[in-house]
Chain A
Amino acid sequence: MSIFQSLVKKEVLHLVRDFRTVTVVLVMPVVLLLLFGFAISTEVNNVRVVAVTDRHTDETRLIADRFRANPYFTFGGTVSYREAESLLRKGKADAAVVFRTEAGRLKLQIVTDASNTTMAQTSAAYIEGVANSSANAADKSAAAVVADTLYNPQLKSAYNFVPGIMGMIFILICAMMTSVSIVSEKESGTMNLLLVSPVRPRTIILGKLVPYFLLSCVILTLMLTLSYTVLEIPFSASVVHVVWVSILYVALALALGLLISAVASTQVSALLVSGVMFMLPVVLMSGMIFPVENMPLPLQWLSCIIPARWYISAMRVLMVQQLPVTYVLTEVAVLSGMTLAVLALAIKKFNAQKR
């Protein structure tokens, strides 16, 4: 057996013997995908809405009927203004629609409980939609607005979250596991034994990276399979590009893990660095949850150095929009540049600590 093979075999034995960690590493992506894909969504269901009106007309009845029929709403009937206010206050209603007739035309006022902003904005938009469509039906003269949501006609939140979760998982698993495994050898002193042997440092590093790279490929397969089947992301030829851009991102994450291991001297600090320095920015600033475009300018600049931002935006184009790879050339170029830079820095640091 060659030296490299026995290094890889040793690393695989570590992984297999550490059954709990491997289980967590394989189960976590699945749980996160399913959680974000199904349970946690920004879609708003069952908006409890009440109507307030001084007198019913055909028009108000029509709108009330539409609320009743719409699956997104639970219509609570017509109440007085004061009653509506108290229902909102008690949290028994989420929104109230106030009808007023001024100069023969129906005017609408929407009152929402904005203690939950997301919910309030979304439900206000829904209510407006329902009210307008009835207004249009009644008043043909008004200019009709037809909204067409491209790439994600049902506005499924899974489409939004899958690229984000992939961006987070790979940084977490690759960077954290590689750095912890290298630092643990530093802590136990076995790293010194490896360095004292005739094995070249680059062989040692490669022997560490390859097993985690293979593990990441297993996770990638798992996540893509889930995304295309359970989460029903449309399958197309662009999956080839999704795979290789993801592999590039995995390589970058492994290089980051290597860099952390060169800087950190204990497993705890390696965990903290990869957790706090990488995980938090990925969640908050990569566009996974909050759109980068809405951030203040300095934060937008800062987000440019976060690898996940580029990966997630590339994944949105390739997985959700299913555009050809020419649309993500910038992202791919940035990710490649980052990988080379981090790898060069990590190897330099790794060699420096020895001397």
Chain B
Amino acid sequence: MNAIEIRNVTKRYGKLVALDRVTFSVEEGTVFGLIGPDGAGKTTLHQILTTLLAPDEGTAAVAGLDVARDFRKLRTQIGYMPERFSLYPDLTVSENLHFFASLFGVDVKDNFDLIAPIFSQLSRFPDRMAGALSGGMKQKLALSCALIHRPKVLFLDEPTTGVDAVSRSEFWDMLPALKERGITILVSTSYMDEAERCERIALINKGKILDADTPERLVEGLGGNLYSASCGDMYPLLEALRRYPGVNDCYTFGAALHLVADEGFNPDEAARKLEQSGLAEVRIRPAKGNIEDLFIKLAKNDG
């Protein structure tokens, strides 16, 4: 059974189309990633699935309940952690947790087993104001608050934005344990490198779903003609490669350049020719593509 079922969901803000016929489904008990840059429509989709917004067209169902028709019942089944960790900064850690528990009419004690591994570090200072916590701690408290009523589906909207690298990694380590408990997780992120930590992902750009599958299969679809290029002077290299015959695309990728080429592209020959044209120490090697390469390719095809 699918925990989330989205069919042709469209949402417009005036002339701007925030979501354009979005369709995908999330299997029960999986960690599903929604990957896309800022402004792609991730938050809007989250708000529709958590019953905060109604879609203009199309239907969406979460845990078997329609988001528009059965929103009242649905609200007891879902946990939501918005983009910024929305907590009350002037309430203490324990006051925040108890308040959110009371909203759902549950007792913190009854469901504490679920959040215990996440909350363990926080339980050392229950009387600290939430506003005085570090980013990583705030994130853990917000996750605890979103889980305290034992939801069936958990929505995490950019949970790792504005958090240090260690906390980011720790956060992803927490999700499998929740999955084990049968909680379906839809998590959105703009960090492409986090895609590999999801079982399945959907790539979203400008309100459209570009593709959805497991990260491995998606990367396989890239093909083998991806090369990494570097040189002492990067910008002239980028210019030269873009003009080079047989090169379909070239873009900066971290400290190097990535280029997508035709079948018959010979990297050694290209490097030699470029060095002859005045560039120093040109190196072009086959590279293993990742989600970011795929995203750039798909977004380009989409126009």
**Does A104 lie at the interface of the complex (its beta carbon under 8 Å from any beta carbon of B)?**
no
- Interface bracket on A: 20 to 34
Cα A198 to Cα B86 with chains together (Å): 17
> Cβ of B145: which chain A residues have Cβ within 8 Å of it?
193
> Cβ of B82: which chain A residues have Cβ within 8 Å of it?
189, 192-193
Known: A10-B91, A196-B78. A188 touches B103 (CB 8 A): no
Known: A189-B84, A193-B82, A194-B103. A17 touches B90 (CB 8 A): yes
Whether B90 pairs with A3 at a CB distance below 8 angstroms is no
Whether B80 pairs with A193 at a CB distance below 8 angstroms is yes
Whether A197 pairs with B88 at a CB distance below 8 angstroms is no
Cα A196 to Cα B105 with chains together (Å): 14
Min C-beta distance of B182 to chain A, whole Å:
21
Whether B102 pairs with A196 at a CB distance below 8 angstroms is no
**Does A195 lie at the interface of the complex (its beta carbon under 8 Å from any beta carbon of B)?**
yes
Which of B48-56, B115-123, B270-278 lies at the interface with chain A?
Answer: B48-56
Known: A13-B95, A354-B52. A192 touches B86 (CB 8 A): yes
Provide the A169-204 mask, 1 if CB < 8 A to any CB of B, else 0: 000000000000000000011101111111100000
Provide the B76-92 mask, 1 if CB < 8 A to any CB of A, else 0: 10101011101111110
Whether B86 pairs with A197 at a CB distance below 8 angstroms is no
**Does A90 lie at the interface of the complex (its beta carbon under 8 Å from any beta carbon of B)?**
no
> Cβ of A103: which chain B residues have Cβ within 8 Å of it?
none
**Does A355 lie at the interface of the complex (its beta carbon under 8 Å from any beta carbon of B)?**
yes
Whether A196 pairs with B80 at a CB distance below 8 angstroms is yes
Cα A275 to Cα B149 with chains together (Å): 40
Cα A190 to Cα B54 with chains together (Å): 19
Specify which of B76, B102, B104, B145 lies most central, judged by the most chain A CB atoms within 10 Å of its CB: B102
Cα A14 to Cα B76 with chains together (Å): 26
> Cβ of B98: which chain A residues have Cβ within 8 Å of it?
6
Min C-beta distance of B189 to chain A, whole Å:
18
**Does A18 lie at the interface of the complex (its beta carbon under 8 Å from any beta carbon of B)?**
yes
Known: A188-B86, A190-B88. A6 touches B103 (CB 8 A): yes
Min C-beta distance of A58 to chain B, whole Å:
77
Provide the B40-75 mask, 1 if CB < 8 A to any CB of A, else 0: 000000010011111000000000000000001001
**Does B99 lie at the interface of the complex (its beta carbon under 8 Å from any beta carbon of A)?**
yes
Known: A1-B102, A3-B102. A196 touches B88 (CB 8 A): no
Cα A94 to Cα B156 with chains together (Å): 74
Whether A192 pairs with B52 at a CB distance below 8 angstroms is yes
* Tally of chain B residues near chain A (CB < 8 A): 29
Task: Scan residues 200-221 of chain B and give those whose CB is less than 8 A from a CB of chain A.
Answer: none
Whether A196 pairs with B50 at a CB distance below 8 angstroms is yes
Whether A18 pairs with B105 at a CB distance below 8 angstroms is no
Provide the B108-137 mask, 1 if CB < 8 A to any CB of A, else 0: 000000000000000000000000000000
Cα A199 to Cα B105 with chains together (Å): 9
Provide the B280-296 mask, 1 if CB < 8 A to any CB of A, else 0: 00000000000000000
> Cβ of B75: which chain A residues have Cβ within 8 Å of it?
196-198
> Cβ of B54: which chain A residues have Cβ within 8 Å of it?
355
> Cβ of A195: which chain B residues have Cβ within 8 Å of it?
52
**Does B32 lie at the interface of the complex (its beta carbon under 8 Å from any beta carbon of A)?**
no
**Does B100 lie at the interface of the complex (its beta carbon under 8 Å from any beta carbon of A)?**
yes
Min C-beta distance of B19 to chain A, whole Å:
16
Closest to A6 in B: B102
Cα A197 to Cα B80 with chains together (Å): 9
Closest to A15 in B: B90
Cα A194 to Cα B89 with chains together (Å): 15
> Cβ of B86: which chain A residues have Cβ within 8 Å of it?
188-190, 192-193
Closest to B89 in A: A188
Known: A189-B84, A196-B80. A18 touches B90 (CB 8 A): yes
Min C-beta distance of B121 to chain A, whole Å:
22
Cα A292 to Cα B100 with chains together (Å): 50
Whether B90 pairs with A13 at a CB distance below 8 angstroms is yes
Cα A122 to Cα B282 with chains together (Å): 94
Cα A6 to Cα B54 with chains together (Å): 28
Q: Which of B47, B50, B99, B105 contacts A10 (CB 8 A)?
A: B99
Whether B80 pairs with A6 at a CB distance below 8 angstroms is no
Min C-beta distance of A192 to chain B, whole Å:
6
B-contacting residues of A (Cβ < 8 Å)? Answer: 1, 3, 6, 10, 13-14, 17-18, 188-190, 192-199, 354-355
Instruction: List the 10 shortest-distance A-B pairs measured between CB atoms, nearest first.
Output: A189-B86, A6-B102, A197-B103, A17-B90, A190-B86, A189-B82, A198-B75, A196-B80, A198-B76, A196-B50
Give me 14 other A-B pairs in contact (C-beta within 8 A), A6-B99, A198-B72 excluded: A3-B105, A13-B90, A13-B91, A14-B90, A17-B90, A17-B91, A18-B90, A188-B84, A192-B52, A194-B103, A195-B52, A196-B50, A197-B100, A355-B54
25 pairs, CB–CB < 8 Å, chain A vs chain B? A1-B102, A3-B103, A3-B105, A10-B91, A10-B99, A13-B91, A17-B91, A18-B90, A188-B84, A188-B86, A188-B89, A189-B84, A192-B47, A192-B50, A192-B82, A193-B80, A193-B86, A194-B103, A196-B78, A196-B80, A197-B75, A198-B105, A199-B103, A355-B53, A355-B54
